[in-house]
Every structure is written in structure tokens, then in C-alpha cells.
Structure 1
Amino acid sequence: MAGDYAVITLYIAGMIGIGWYSLRLAKTRNDYLVAGRRLGGFLYAGTMSAVVLGGASTIGGVGLGYTYGISGAWLVLTIGLGILALHAVFARRLVRLRLYTVSELLDLRYGGSTSAISGVVMWGYTLMLTVTSTLAFATIFSVLYDLPTWASVAIGGAIVVCYAALGGMWSITLTDLAQFVIMTIGFLLILLPVALTSADGFTGLRAELDASFFSFGSIGGGTIFTYVLIYGFGLLIGQDIWQRVFTARSPKVSTWGGIGSAVYCAVYAIAGALIGTAAKALYPNLGNADDAFATIVRDLLPSGVRGLVLAAALSALMSTASGALIACSTVSTTDILPKLLRRELGTSVATNRIATVVLGALAIGISMIVTDVVAALTVAYNILVGGLLVAILGALLWRRGTRAGALASMVTGSVVVIVSMITQGLLANEPIYYGLGASLVVYVVVSLATPRTSDAVLRTWDQRLAAEQEEPASVRS
């Protein structure tokens, strides 16, 4: 394992080094939160791909391939569909608005504050996403270095907090680019061909496995539909994703960079499912499908190369954690703390850096005591989508929507989701169906029953949407 340790250590040192380098790039709040809104196409596509492809996409995607075959690709495919829809339909408008948070969009479109509800929901979602990602990459530290869980969480979490706090979105962008390259080499160019070759290619797979492993529908239509609702729509409105959109230097960059990221997600989805399918043929009796990734890496790859692939998995997990952490920090300093303190926090980078450190420490603490991570993340996603999706899409698509309708839909959707999870079970499919349905009905009815949004508010909205972006001379790659 000496070669593996060396590769992992170099990877960690590189991430911290990038964070230290980015310290001098984050001179303003705009730099710290959205990388100065200066990213070109390649940087944008790389960082968007890195943030959406985390542990669920890598370890979980391989596990679904082990269980369902090629149909296991659907989870990551729906992530790609969400990214495609976001960038094909909405990204240009989001870039023109020049915002920092989702709640700011709702306030601008509807007139008046909605952040008491939307900001708190988004804060809880981004914090829990940080926690689950921290726990996921801590397992790699635990296995590699034979450490107790609490120590793995503390070490892994401290690394992410360190580079995220130092340079903010610039740190995260540059580390994400490095992580994107490592993920591509380790997962797509090394592990995929090795796994398929070891299983004697598609001929060997078909000889060993049932025909259902080669059907795109074997995971079930209901599961696919739920994935679309939770993950596809969740990516349409998540603060961690929108904050990456805000980094684009122009609407054109966001559109084409995002579409490129969606295509990459589709390739990653198929690769993960095929690696899992190969693992099923090679190791048909694993007790836990999620062990397929670690098993195939351990048994098929030599030292050093194995470390690179583990670094690829670590990259996927760390990029999600750092993106969620900076999103949680942004929501805190933009939407929540000013309301609680009844004053603006100013534009100091130090304020945002302190918030990132404090929230990172909180996420590490929760990661040491939380038990049912999957249930906690499901709760966060259900409330996010059930509570906020209708109000956000309504803001972008329906001019008759009103602030009263948005607030009523957010409260109703969140309450219905929570009650349904209590009565139907935390992991049931029904809560998101009921929550979205109730939110949509209430949004339309209340909006039609209340006065239209004032012409002045809509005029300001239209002016912001029509604004053209200047393209800085720097950072065009």
C-alpha cells in the first residue's frame, strides 16, 4: 500500500496547496463567493461536473450497476438531465441576474422578502449535503489509514474546510478542475477498461449474467421517475449548483459549458453502471452492493494505480463537500444572518471566510454523531424540492405568480412533505409526489386570488434579465 499512500498524500497536499494559492485571488466578496464571475468554458464545465458527481454518483453508481446492471446508470443520468435542463432553459437568465443566492432571485421576482422560508430550507439542504459528503470521504481515510471514524471525519473535513475557507470559490474552482482531471483518468480511463477486460468484455458479461442486467428499464419505472423528481429537479434549484452558474463570465459560457457537463455526466453514468456490472460477474456474492467499487479497485489494480483511482473517488466526494460548504456559507451571510442581526454584514471577505470555517466545524461535528445519513439527505432533498421547486420555476416561467402564492406554496409543500414522511416513511416515494402536487395547486390558486406583482417589480426584473454581461480579459480558459 506504500504507493497508494504516496499518491493519496500527494493529492491531499495538492488540494491544500491550491487553496493557499487561491488565497491571493479572493480579494473581494465577488471573488470569494462566485470566482469574480469570470470563468470560461473549460473551467466552468470542469467545476460543474466535479460538484454534481459525488459519492452517490461514483460509489453508489457502481453499486447500482452491481444490483441492476446497465439500468443502474439512471441515478447519474437523471443528474445529467437536471444539469442539461438547467443550462438549456434557465442558465442564461441566471447569469444575467448577477445574484448570489436562490432567495435573492425570489425576492427580486416577487418583490419583498421570502428568505425566512427559502433561505432556511436551502441552508439545511446545503449543510446536510456537506455532512453526508464528509462522511462518505471519511470512509476512505478510515480504510486507508485504519483510523476510527471520528478521526477520519476530523482529518478529511479539516482538509476541505482549509482549502474552501482560504480561497472560497476560487479555491473550489481550481481544486475542482484538478479533481475533474483525476476523476476522468482514474474512473473512466483506468478502472472502466480494467474492469471490462477482467470480466472478458461484453461476451463474458452476457455469459455470466441474466439478460435483465442489459436492460435499461430493469431498475423500474417508478424508481426512474422518483430519481427525476428528486435529483433531476433538485439540481435545477440547489444553491450549490446555482452558485456555480453564477461564476460564468457570460450567458453563452454557462449554456455551452453546462451542456458539456451534462454530456460528461451521461458518460460517467454508463461507466459506473458497466463497472458495477463487471463487478457482479467477477464477485457475484458480495454482501453489500456498495462494496463493489472498493472490491474491484482492491483486487484488480496494482499499487500506485490503485491509489490514483482511490484519489479519483476522494475527488468526487471532496468536490461535492466543498461546493455544498461554500453554498451554505453564502446562504448564511446573504439570506439568514442579516435578517437575524437586523443589519447588513458588509462585503468583507473575512466575514464569509469566518462563516465557512464555523459552518465547516459544525458539519464535522454533526458528521461525528449522525447515524442515518441516507434518511437525513432524503429529508433534505424532499423538503428542498417539495418546498421550493414550484415557487422557483414559477418565478422564471409564470408572470402571474405572486409573492403570496410563492410563500403559500413553500409552506404548504414543506409541511406536506414532512407529514408524508412521518406517515409514509422517510424513504418512501410518496412524500415528494404529495408535496409537489400540493405546492403547485396552492401556488396557482393563491397567485390567481391575490393582486398581481406590481409593474415596478416586474420592470426591474425584466431589466436585470435583459442586461448584457461584459467579458473580462482574464480567466478565459
Structure 2
Amino acid sequence: MGYIWAIIIVYMLSMVGIGIYAGRKQVKGAEDYLLAGRRLGPIMFAGTLAATEIGGGSTIGVAAKAYGNWGLSAGWYVITAGISILLVSFIAPYLRRAMATTVSEIIGRRFGKNAYLISSILSVVSLVTLGGVQITATATILSVLLVTDLNLAILVSGAIVTFYTMVGGMWSVTLTDFVQFFFIMFGFAFAIPFALDSVGGWSYVVANLPPEQLSFTKVGWQTIVGLTVMYYMTFSTGQEAVQRYFSAKDEKTAVVGSVMCGFLMVLYSFVPAILGLIALVTFPNINANNALATVAVELTPPWVAGIVLAAVMSATLSSASGDFLGAATVFTKDIWQQYFNSKLSDKEIMKITRLTVLISGIIGIGLSLMSQTIIPMLVFAFTMRSAGPFAAFILGLIWERATKNAGLASIIVGSVVGAYWQYLKEPYGIMAIIAGSLAGSVAFAVTTWIEQNMGRPPAPPAISEDIKRKYTKENKIWD
């Protein structure tokens, strides 16, 4: 256990140190703090995007699902995420070209202040919830190591991620994500051969599992398709993901980095599922959320266990930091600056954003203490932030003839339908986020058609001529 703790402590101190370094050396102004100066290259971009999206659900959650009803097919939870990132690559040029800071900002440019405010509030609420989920996931690891109450582990995990995010902003998040990405990819790769060797090999695992647990499609094609659609909707509208696209140095970087991230996620996908199956065979009566940590501690050498558990914490902390920074960015730029003080200086923007990161972290810790589930809370947050704004954001970027009230109508209809569908426990097996997003898209199209027939002009473009000139001046156009 001493080796494990040594690796974990060194890792945690390194994350704090990187946060302090980024805050002092890299952050010169608000754009550095919020968007890493829009200077991320493809490798840094792919690393931070992958580390952000491979979080508690993609590690502890997948292992728990494999331990439970999904078996090996739990890997589809990550494969579908990788496929969705590849699909987002097609709109990546629009995202980078917009020269925006937040998703809500683009919605506000086209559809006015009401749509702006509602989408901003939905984004903040969902991001803080997502951050709380990742704290829960990190705490499950610490609780196993400490053999202590989960609540104490939640407090420690939340304090660490809130601190380094608050200090360094996007540069801190990007640099820590880059380190964490390598922990995630290589840490898990170490675990499988050692764990299998401890239990007698893969043949022993197969012989002691029901055949259906080894099916690649046990989860069902309806769920696989549903997850792909859900992830595309949430990644293309989620501030923690889109903020990375805004931070890319140009359009080509956004596309190339996005494609790299998608393929890396697919390569990683079944690793935590295999570890979950090993746990099911060896420790059939443990809490499913502890499957990954238990395998690491009990079945691998201490130095491997330390790397694996650091990798899990890397995945969860990197996601939490992106969520809290995203929430703070939206609050500062889209709520405080728009409705309370439009003349904020760079120094004031950074001060308010840091304070909001702190408040978001505290609220996230509170949510984690109240609800210690992982994947259900993830799905709830995804629905909250995407069911309504999806059509307004995506169609607002690419549909030039869209009218002003179409965005507001789609946000309201999509959010209401998504929330009601979740309240009904997702009838017909259709996810709430999909039902809400489809309803919002229909509302968007119908409203545009009605207003066009009434002779109303299109809404102003999300990417105005002034923005195009600014982008051209930076010499970052990719033809």
C-alpha cells in the first residue's frame, strides 16, 4: 500500500504544481485563462479533449456496468463517445471560426437575450452537476485506498480539483489534462495482464462467466445507437467540450485534433469493461462502483496499482476541472457580463471566473454528497444541457435562413419535452435527451417556416462579417 500511496501523492502534488505554474507563467489575461490564448496545437488539443471526455462514466462507470448487467458490451459506452467526437469533427470548423468563448454566446448572437439567458442557465446547472459526478468517481478510488467514509473522500477530491482549476484556468486544465491523458491510456494498459495473471488468465475468466456477459452487443443495438446520438448532441453543445474547439489555434487543428481524440477513445473503450469482468469473477459480492479499484489493489503489484488508480483519478479529475471551468466561463461571460456589468476588465473577468470556479466546486461537492451515483447523474446532466439548446446551437450555426424566434422556441420545447420524458422514465426506450432534442429541432423548423411565411427576415448570423474579418486578420483560415 505504501507504493500505491507514494504514486498517488506524487500525482496529486504534480497536478497542484501544474496548476500553480499555469497560473503564474501562462496566464497573462482573460483569453489565456478562459481559452489558453486560442493557441492549442493538435496533440495538446486531442489530449485535453480526450481527458475531458474520458471521465468517471468511462472508467469506473464502465467497469461497474460490466460487473453488472452489461458485461463486456459496456465498452460501447466509450466507443459511442469516440464515434460522436468523430462526428463533431464535421462541425469543428464552424466552432473555431465563430471566435466565441461559450456555446450560449453563439445562441445569443442569433436569437437574442431570452434564448441567451435560458441556454446559459441550463449550461451552468448541467456543468456543475457533471463536476459533482466526477468528484464522486474520484472519491470512490480514495475511499477504497483510505478504507474510509466516502463523504471524506468526496471532500478531499473536490478540494483538489477546485483549487488547481481556480488557479490556472484553461492553461492549467490543458496542461494537467495532457499529463492525465497519458496516465489514462497507459495506466489501464498495465493493469490487464497483471490482473489476468493473478486470476489464472483470460480462459479462467471466460470459464467462470455466463456466456451472455461476454457478448459484444448484450447492451442492445437500440442502446448503442441511442448512446451515439446522445453523445453527439451533448459533445456538440457541451461547454466543456466546445470550449476546447474554441481554444484550438485554427480550424485545421480543431478537425485533426478531434479525429485523433475520437480514435484514441475507441482504442481505449473495452479496457475498463475487461477489468470489470475480472472483478465479477474474483470478487462477486462487492459494490459495483468499487470493481475497478478493488481489482487494482488486490490483483496487481503495488506499483501497477498506483499507476492504475492515478489513471482513474486522472480521468475523473480532468473531467471535473473542465466542467467547473466551463460553468464559471458561462456564468462570467454570459450572465454576469451580459446582465450585470458589461464593462469588465480582463482582471475583473479572471477574478469573477476564479470565484465562480470556487463556488461551482463547493456546489459540486454538495451534489456529490447528496447523490453518489455516476452514470444516472451523467445522463440527467446531458439531458439538461443539450435537449433544449441542441437545435438552437447547431442549426443556428449552419442554417442561414433561420429566424429569431426559432431558437427560443426550440430551447423551450426541447427542454420541457426532455425533462418530461425523463420524468416518464424514458418510454419506448428512447432517451430523454434524444426525445427533447428531436422535439426542439421540429420546433425550430416549424417556427422558421411560419416566420418565413409571415415575411420575417432571418436572424442575424452567428458569424458576422466583423468576426470573419477578425478571424482572417489572425491568419488562421483553413481553406
CA distances 1:385-425 after superposition (whole Å, capped 9, x unpaired): 22111222211332222220110111011112222333337
Q: Gaps (5+ residues) in structure 1?
A: 473-477
Give the aligned residue type for 1:176.
D
Pick aligned residue for 2:461 from 458, 463, 467 = 458
2:77 corresponds to which letter in structure 1? Answer: L
Give, in angstroms, the shift of residue 229 of structure 1: 3.0
Paired residue type of 2:263: V
Distance 2:371 2:288 in 1: 22
Residue type of the alignment partner of 1:81: I
Q: Deviations over 1:244-303 (max 9, x none)?
A: 1111111111111111111110011122223333444444x3454333212211221122
Tell me the equivalent position of 1:366. 367
Question: Partner letter of residue 450 of structure 2?
Answer: A
Cα offset, 1:344, TM superposition: 4.0
Aligned to 2:225: 225
Residue identity in the other structure for 2:240: D
1:379–1:461 Cα change, 3 Å: same
Pairing of 1:2-21 with structure 2 (within 5 A): 2-21=2-21
CA shift in 2, pair 1:372/1:200, >3 Å: closer
Q: Provide the residue aligned with 1:337 in structure 2.
A: 336
Offset at 1:41?
1.6
1:265 corresponds to? 265
Please tell me whether residue 71 in structure 1 is matched to residue 73 in structure 2.
Answer: yes
Q: What residue number does 2:128 align with?
A: 127
* Whole-Å separation in 2 of the counterparts to 1:307 and 1:437: 44
1:383 aligns with 2:387: no
Shift of 1:459: 8.9
For 1:167 and 1:423, the matched residues in 2 are separated by 42
User: Residues 10-159 of structure 1 correspond to what in structure 2 (within 5 A)?
Assistant: 10-24=10-24, 25-67=26-68, 68-87=70-89, 89-110=90-111, 114-159=115-160
After superposition, give the CA deviation of every residue in 1:203-262 in whole Å (9 maximum; x if it has no partner).
Answer: 445444444344322111222233123233211210000011111111111111111111
Indicate yes or no: 2:278 matched with 1:275.
no
Q: In structure 2, what is the Cα distance between the partners aligned to 1:207 and 1:144? A: 30
Comparing 322-331 and 401-410, the one that deviates more = 401-410
Aligned residue for 2:346, secondary structure, equals: coil
**Compared with structure 1, are the counterparts of its residues 158 and 426 closer, same or farther at alpha carbon in structure 2 (3 Å cutoff)?**
farther
Partners of 2:402 and 2:467 lie apart in 1 by 18
Q: In structure 2, do the counterparts of structure 1 residues 295 and 142 end up closer, same or farther at CA, with 3 Å as the change threshold?
A: closer
Letter in 2 for 1:355: T
When structure 1 is superposed on structure 2, of 370-379 and 56-65 the one drifting more is: 370-379
Query: Matched residues in 1 for 2:475 and 2:305: separation?
Result: 42
Q: Are the aligned partners of 1:249 and 1:471 in contact in 2 as well (CA < 8 Å)? A: no
| 1:316 alignment partner AA | A
Q: Amino acid of the residue matched to residue 384 of structure 1? A: R
TM-score by length of 1: 0.90
Aligned amino acid, residue 130 of structure 1: G
State the alpha-carbon separation in 2 of the partners of residues 265 and 38 from structure 1.
23
Tell me, in whole angstroms, the C-alpha distance in 1 between the residues paired with 2:459 and 2:230. 35
Contact kept, 8 Å, 1:70 with 1:273, in 2: the verdict is yes
How far apart are the structure 2 equivalents of 1:129 and 1:359? 11
- Which stretches in structure 2 are left out of the alignment for 5+ residues? none
Report deviation, 1:5.
1.1
Contact 1:250 1:469 in 2 (8 A): no
Q: What amino acid is the match of 1:71?
A: S
Offset of residue 471 of structure 1: 7.0
Where does residue 254 of structure 1 map in the other structure?
Answer: 254
> Does the aligned pair in 2 maintain the 1:405–1:447 contact within 8 Å?
yes
Q: Equivalent residue of 2:269, what SS? A: helix
Distance 1:273 1:370 in 2: 24
CA distance in 1, matches of 2:173, 2:456: 38
| Pairs within 5 Å for 1:401-412 | 401-412=402-413
Deviation readout 1:20-63 (Å, 9 max, x if unpaired):
11112111000000100111121111111100000110111222
Offset of 1:426 from its aligned partner? 11
Distance 2:428 2:234 in 1: 16
Alignment of 1:309-348 (within 5 A): 309-341=308-340, 343-348=342-347
Cα distance between partner residues in 2 of 1:172 and 1:86: 21
- Percent identity over the alignment is 33
The separation in 2 between residues aligned to 1:71 and 1:154, in whole angstroms, is 33
Q: Which amino acid aligns with 2:79?
A: L
Is 1:434 aligned to residue 428 of structure 2?
Answer: no
Distance 1:462 1:55, change over 3 A: same
Q: Is the 8 A contact 1:179 1:316 kept in 2?
A: yes
Moved more, 381-390 or 305-314: 381-390
Compared with structure 1, are the counterparts of its residues 69 and 201 closer, same or farther at alpha carbon in structure 2 (3 Å cutoff)?
farther
Give RMSD over aligned pairs.
2.6
Residue 73 of structure 1 deviates from its aligned partner by 1.0
- Alignment-mate amino acid for residue 345 of structure 2: G
Whether the aligned pair in 2 keeps the contact of 1:108 and 1:461 (CA below 8 Å) is no
> Is 2:291 the partner of 1:292?
yes
Q: Are the equivalent residues in 2 in contact too, given 1:18–1:175 (CA < 8 A)?
A: yes
Contact kept, 8 Å, 1:382 with 1:431, in 2: the verdict is yes
Deviations along 1:438-474, whole A, 9 cap, x unmatched? Answer: 21221111111114775792395366468447479xx
